[in-house]
Structure 1
Amino acid sequence: MGGNVLELNETNFEEEVLRAREPVLVDFWATWCMPCRMMAPVVEDIARSFSGRIKVGKVNTDEAPSLALQYGVHAIPTLIFFQDGREVERVVGYVPRRVLEEKLKRILGEA
Structure 2
Amino acid sequence: MKKNKSIRIKTGHILTGIIVFTIFIYILGIQTQSKPLLNENENSLIELDKDSFFDSITLKKCFVLFYAENSELCDVMSASLSKLAKNNQGKTGFYKLNLDKYPEYDLKYNISGVPNIFIFNEGIEVARIMGVVPEQNLEKIYDKMFN
Task: Identify whether the pair has TM-score above 0.5, normalized to the shorter chain.
Answer: yes
Structure with the greater alpha carbon radius of gyration = 2
**Partner deviation per Cα, 1:85-110 (whole Å, 9 max, x = no partner):** 101111111110122111111121x2
State the Cα RMSD in Å: 1.3
Instruction: Work out whether residues 44 and 83 of structure 2, in 8 Å CA contact, stay in contact via their aligned partners in 1.
Output: no
Asked if structure 1 preserves the Cα contact closer than 8 Å seen for 2:114 and 2:131, the reply is yes
Return 5+ residue gaps in structure 1 as ranges.
none
Counting matched residue pairs gives 107
Higher relative contact order (CA 8 A, sep 6+): 1
With structure 2 as the length reference, what TM-score do the two structures score? Answer: 0.68
The Cα offsets for residues 16-68 of structure 1, whole Å up to 9 and x where unpaired, read as: 11x21x21100000112121112121111011111111000001000011122
Q: Alignment partner of 1:12: what SS?
A: helix
What letter corresponds to residue 13 of structure 1 in structure 2? F
TM-score by length of structure 1 reads 0.89
User: Would you tell me which structure has more strand in proportion to its own residues?
Assistant: 1
2:44 match: 4
How many angstroms apart in 2 are the aligned matches of 1:94 and 1:51? 22
Structure 2: unaligned runs, 5 residues or longer: 1-39
The structure whose residues are more often helix, as a share, is 2
Q: Is the 8 A contact 2:43 2:79 kept in 1?
A: no
CA distance in 2, matches of 1:90, 1:12: 20
